[in-house]
């Protein structure tokens, strides 16, 4: 279904336009790639003048920085929610967190691509730095507190293995190198089996 975001300019409340422009980034990037994103194109999609968009984001880089920041926050929230839900229902929290990471990439490929593309964002932006640190704390903290962790301020071999595995598969799915011809459910089943296979490997690593 075609995504429509157009509103009358007078209907915007404070902050709505900034968020709508980020939604426009998602739509344009999902269809044509992040390279196709411009402030003018986003303003046109939302239905406002370019000058209105520039009042919120000074340039494309600022727009993509906000987009990446939102992505980092949403991924952190997805991991936390998955862990809580798994614990509530007596399911494997590590598997749930890993699947949440991969499902985020499948559902929001433009967000996933944008998060660490420092060549296209202001990587020293305070909001981006804070969001990046928040996600890192989840990953360094025993992969969202689902595996044993001695030092929450650094990556253990287990955490690196867990993150690189789920991130690598997510990236392979997003870029089309793996899972061609599979629907989302089939990709998640493949991811589930990979995460299950990580269990013995994680237990053999020195803590």
At CA 19, angle to CA 45 and CA 140, rounded to 5?
125
- Tens-digit pLDDT profile for residues 95-135: 999 999 999 999 999 899 898 888 889 999 999 999 999 99
- Distance separating alpha carbons of residues 196 and 12, to the nearest angstrom: 47
Q: What is the pLDDT of residue 75?
A: 95
Q: What is the mean pLDDT of the chain?
A: 86
Mean predicted confidence (pLDDT) in 142-171: 86
- DSSP structural state of residue 205: S
Inform me whether the pLDDT recorded for 207 exceeds 60. no
pTM of the full structure: 0.84
Query: Hey, is 54 helix, strand or coil?
Result: helix
| CATH architecture of structural domain 61-204 | Orthogonal Bundle (1.10)
Q: Is the dihedral of CA 31, 37, 40, 43 positive or negative?
A: positive
- Distance separating alpha carbons of residues 121 and 82, to the nearest angstrom: 29
Mean predicted confidence (pLDDT) in 8-23: 68
How far from 14 is each of 71, 84, 108, CA to CA, in Å?
Answer: 21, 33, 26
CATH 1.10.10 fits 9-56, yes or no: yes
For residue 38, what pLDDT band results from cuts at 50, 70 and 90? very high
Using alpha carbons, select from 126, 128, 150 the residue that is nearest to residue 140. Answer: 150
- Distance separating alpha carbons of residues 153 and 143, to the nearest angstrom: 12
HSE-CB for 12 with a 13 A CA cutoff: 19
Structural domain boundaries of the chain?
9-56, 61-204
Q: What is the pLDDT of residue 204?
A: 52
- Distance separating alpha carbons of residues 207 and 157, to the nearest angstrom: 8
């Amino acid at each position: 279904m075609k995504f429509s975001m157009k509103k009358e300019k007078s209907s915007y409340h404070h902050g709505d336009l900034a968020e709508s422009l980020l939604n426009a980034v998602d739509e344009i990037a999902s269809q044509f790639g992040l390279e196709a994103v411009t402030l003018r194109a986003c303003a046109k999609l939302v239905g406002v003048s370019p000058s209105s968009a520039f009042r919120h984001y000074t340039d494309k880089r600022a727009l993509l920085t906000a987009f990446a920041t939102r992505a980092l926050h949403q991924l952190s929230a997805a991991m936390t929610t998955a862990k809580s839900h798994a614990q509530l229902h007596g399911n494997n929290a590590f598997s749930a967190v890993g699947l949440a990471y991969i499902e985020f990439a499948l559902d929001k490929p433009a967000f996933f691509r944008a998060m660490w593309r420092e060549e296209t964002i202001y990587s020293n932006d305070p909001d981006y730095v804070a969001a990046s640190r928040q996600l890192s704390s989840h990953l360094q903290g025993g992969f969202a507190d689902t595996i044993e962790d001695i030092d929450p301020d650094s990556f253990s071999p287990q955490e690196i293995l867990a993150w690189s595995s789920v991130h690598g598969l997510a990236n392979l799915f997003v870029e089309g190198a793996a899972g061609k011809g599979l629907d989302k459910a089939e990709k998640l089943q493949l991811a589930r089996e990979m995460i299950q296979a990580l269990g013995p490997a994680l237990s053999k690593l020195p803590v």
